[in-house]
Structure 1
């Protein structure tokens, strides 16, 4: 960007415009994944929808590329584009709870921790993810799944309305009754259709939950995964557990004798009658005695933030994902192989259940195209040292390539990495892709918002 253009933007916009010569620039361009090293021409922190409208209009009229940042948690760093402009929603972190209507209106730059903190005061929550630092925007627009999904559905199943700045700089509210085609697309279609400045969610009674972690030595992966595969889908929807391959971190609640050991295990959340919490998990001994089994009642936000310190912002990340409707025995062999060869202490594999309430929403009711999936899987190479970036990337790619034949073909859009290609995007949206492309043509015909897992506008007939 030429200096004159940057100065014109600084004059035209109400809020700050951070350029490469500004002292704040280095910090402003940092994102969760330190593997991403991009240099926007400018970063524009926005405090309200008016800021977003002005910024997007200026950027579009200047012919510049634009990206959007909510929480900055995007694995492939889609919130930054070299030489373009990042519209940064992170100052927009307000949450307003209506405890009578059981709704929450949430600013587009808010994080899950902001939402959980505000709703927990009223004994309420809505399904989101498992890391409190995640931005509500990216998570929601991709679909959103986590500890409450089996009982209350996906995040998008609980989205009631969204305030959206469209690619032409105009503002609309999307809901079941206003711009219903846009509202359908926002529920799983990613950031392709506009910049969401506010989300309104339905809330549910959630207060103290049962949190638990059960682990076994990694060499037990086949037996444990076979048990988990059969146990969880038939368990009460009050029981949620994601399966993981990981290295035990040093520190509580884990005993010192298992620190640093490769393990397989399940992280649990129980939302039923507290007196039946322990009883609900008695089956964990069926695949053999675990090396460690920890249970404790805890406030829901505490469970949501439990992994924050284990994998903080600023590490090297490389991830890929897939949906699964089954876990055949051959796939268990793949999990064992790569669990035994975890390349760094923070690298991991997670299988998140997306059944229960999520299966009771019609397959065409939202843009989320995998209502028949039972698990959403992610493989992530993670390490603080840039020298290990290639090792974690190669482990992840090799693991994914061997596991992918047992998948349903597509991935949760928020678990897609860089450079996976347009056919991969199509596979993620299945038969919904063409309908999404039509909505894209209506609301962003010039594909202004393309710094995402892009859905290209349908061609005019």
Structure 2
């Protein structure tokens, strides 16, 4: 472990050419820079390298290895497990890298690794274009895309990673590579789902699609007493949704902080407003909602609709797995679990997979989860540290109670901090190939502060 003097000496030397900021624990701005979205994560890096460009990434990587520091990489800092930061190590922070270039004539956008989906959509929607992005707009494009990319457009256009044309990536050797289907194709395959295991992605090139600016979407909510009927209805409609339409369901709490439990659906139709209004009629006709906010909405507003439910600094603990079907028994178990939820910010969410996201072969990208079904998220969120034990306990107990209906596969972006031994569940039959590519580009597992893929021996 290097001494503080070692770090300070080498930082002073690098600062002569570094375009961004090099922050140590006594530096102004360090406390703000070290924090990530999840307030449950409270780590103190020995050094934060806030990069302004690719050369900064190269130099920061070299410095971290020379000093023997463990390295974490931050894009948007949204990962719930807090893998973007590290105690006593080096955080390579891409947040200042905000460049976005939209080529609307060719339907392509390139964005740097610190961009969030709100920032990305703001630029692309000037031209009525979009690509599949996160359902929360404050999420960074980097982590979401590299791990999968669930979003409102995935029924029509696939996951975020399915829309990648290329990435620029800095390897642990300091090489700056372009990866695409034509160039470094093995690295491109691995980057589409394999997370940050193979290098630091400095920029992403996406295919864009005509979307909006106005689409149809919003939230509709029912009393908790209607949860069983609503979830049965949700199961039925998700068997035959058009590609343009995505519907998620959840057992949630009222947004006023009252603790009132609700059953809700959030829908998005990315086609014309008239087609969207027709497609949404079954949702709007079902039951007696206490709130119906489904209607014409801008795509940017749809992408930020749920932001307020996930404020920066709130304490979060999630567990998640895929479900191939939603049986009556699973529905009953979900309702029983949510009845015991101790926090007015807690949720049980069901994210439906269908359409284009399920038409890609499991071996075509590192992300293997291409079967129609649902992703269950046990989402515990709270504000006071005194509530941590009971809120994390509820999430664990609820997840355990749902295990009889869960598949063995897991979505890597939602894996909790202690799930480092779950990579096989995240990648399935693709894992051995990922291990071989990891051994090629990062044989020493320098980049291991992630949902780690162990290099093949």
Deviation at 1:346, TM superposition (A): 1.1
Runs of 5+ unmatched residues, structure 1: 252-258
Partners of 1:29 and 1:355 in 2: CA distance: 38
Partners of 1:340 and 1:218 in 2: CA distance: 9
SS at match of 2:390: helix
The equivalent of 2:401 in structure 1 is: 402
Partners of 1:43 and 1:421 in 2: CA distance: 24
The equivalent of 1:21 in structure 2 is: 26
* Contact residue 165 and residue 180 of structure 2 kept, 8 A: yes
Deviation at 1:125, TM superposition (A): 0.2
Given the two structures, how large is their TM-score scaled by the length of structure 1?
0.95
* Contact residue 277 and residue 295 of structure 2 kept, 8 A: no
* Contact residue 220 and residue 292 of structure 2 kept, 8 A: yes
* Contact residue 97 and residue 112 of structure 2 kept, 8 A: yes
SS at match of 2:262: strand
Cα deviation 1:161-207 (Å, max 9, x = unaligned)? 00000011111000001110000000001111110000000000111
The structure 2 residue matched to 1:131, chosen from 136, 153, 161, is 136
The structure 1 residue matched to 2:11, chosen from 6, 9, 33, is 9
Cα deviation 1:288-338 (Å, max 9, x = unaligned)? 322322223121111111222232101110001111111111111111012
Cα deviation 1:253-312 (Å, max 9, x = unaligned)? xxxxxx642011101111223123333222226753223222231211111112222321
The equivalent of 1:215 in structure 2 is: 221
The structure 2 residue matched to 1:444, chosen from 435, 442, 445, is 442
Mapping of residues 44-443 of structure 1, within 5 Å: 44-207=49-212, 208-250=214-256, 260-284=259-283, 288-422=287-421, 424-443=422-441
Given the two structures, how large is their TM-score scaled by the length of structure 2?
0.96
SS at match of 2:182: coil
Partners of 2:397 and 2:412 in 1: CA distance: 20
* Contact residue 146 and residue 352 of structure 1 kept, 8 A: no
Deviation at 1:221, TM superposition (A): 1.9
**Higher mean C-alpha displacement, 24-33 vs 154-163:** 24-33
Evaluate the alpha carbon distance shift between residue 114 and residue 285 of structure 1 in structure 2; reply closer, same or farther with a 3 A threshold: closer
Deviation at 1:219, TM superposition (A): 2.5
**Higher mean C-alpha displacement, 148-157 vs 304-313:** 304-313
Deviation at 1:96, TM superposition (A): 0.5
Partners of 2:40 and 2:404 in 1: CA distance: 28
* Contact residue 259 and residue 343 of structure 2 kept, 8 A: no
Cα deviation 1:343-365 (Å, max 9, x = unaligned)? 21111122112210111111211
Deviation at 1:342, TM superposition (A): 2.3
The equivalent of 1:41 in structure 2 is: 46
SS at match of 1:191: coil
The CA RMSD over aligned residues, in Å, is: 1.4
Cα deviation 1:16-36 (Å, max 9, x = unaligned)? 210011121111111100100
Partners of 1:250 and 1:209 in 2: CA distance: 27
* Contact residue 210 and residue 270 of structure 1 kept, 8 A: yes
Partners of 2:89 and 2:326 in 1: CA distance: 42
Partners of 2:391 and 2:302 in 1: CA distance: 27
* Contact residue 218 and residue 302 of structure 2 kept, 8 A: no
* Contact residue 239 and residue 271 of structure 1 kept, 8 A: yes
Deviation at 1:450, TM superposition (A): 0.1
**Higher mean C-alpha displacement, 27-36 vs 271-280:** 271-280
Deviation at 1:89, TM superposition (A): 0.2
Partners of 1:30 and 1:182 in 2: CA distance: 30
Deviation at 1:139, TM superposition (A): 0.3
Deviation at 1:403, TM superposition (A): 1.1
